[in-house]
Amino acid sequence: MPTTAEILSKNIEINNFNSKSEVHVKAISDNNGRHKININLEHSGSASIDQAIGKNDSLETIDVTYLNRLDIPKDMDIVIKIDVEGHEKIVVEQLIQTFFLHSVSAIYYEYDTKIQDDMDTIKELLKQNNFTIFSEVKDEGVKNVFNMLSTKDIN
């Protein structure tokens, strides 16, 4: 989301990470193009490609072909945060096809028990790609949703 990207850009600047960071105002999906996105004007964290909520807008979507064109140093330690309101499975499917997956040490994603089949598929895909440690981080204020930290076993 452009507003989230602005906040991220300001944080990068404040923390002097400009030389180490690039912000791409795009959404990972299963195609390159534009996609309808639904925005909840009362909650900035609940924009969704998959769920019909609030105001409609559009956002540029990218897939693994775009991701594989990124200039990422081979020795970079990458940590990924995914919070895409029901689109997590598609994002993970694209990420595991990237040339830089070997550099990803952790993937932190929102886990929603209302879409358990997708969550089970995500966990299995990550396990097949050497992510073997899964740690739940529960948000006490949210009933069926928590965050999952998946990491590679370095032993």
Q: Are strands 131-138 and 78-82 parallel, antiparallel or unpaired?
A: unpaired
**Stretch 123-152: mean pLDDT, rounded?**
88
- Residue 149 pLDDT: 94
Q: How confident is the model over 111-136, as a mean pLDDT?
A: 92
Give residue 134's pLDDT: 94
Q: pLDDT tens across 71-92, in order? A: 988 888 899 999 887 889 999 9
The token pair that represents 138 in the structure block: 């529960």
Sheet holding 27-28, edge to edge: 27-28, 55-62, 33-39
What is the reported pLDDT for 92?
96
Q: How far apart are CA 151 and CA 129, in angstroms?
A: 10
Q: Which residues contact 119 (CB under 8 A, 6 or more apart)?
A: 88, 111, 112, 113
User: Domain boundaries in the chain?
Assistant: 2-152
Q: Which two tokens stand for residue 55?
A: 């105001």
Q: What is the pLDDT of residues 21-50, one digit of tens each?
A: 888 888 899 988 887 766 555 544 455 454
SS3 27: strand
| Residues sharing a CB contact under 8 Å with residue 77, sequence separation 6 or more, in sequence order | 103, 105
Confidence of residue 94 (pLDDT cuts 50, 70, 90): very high
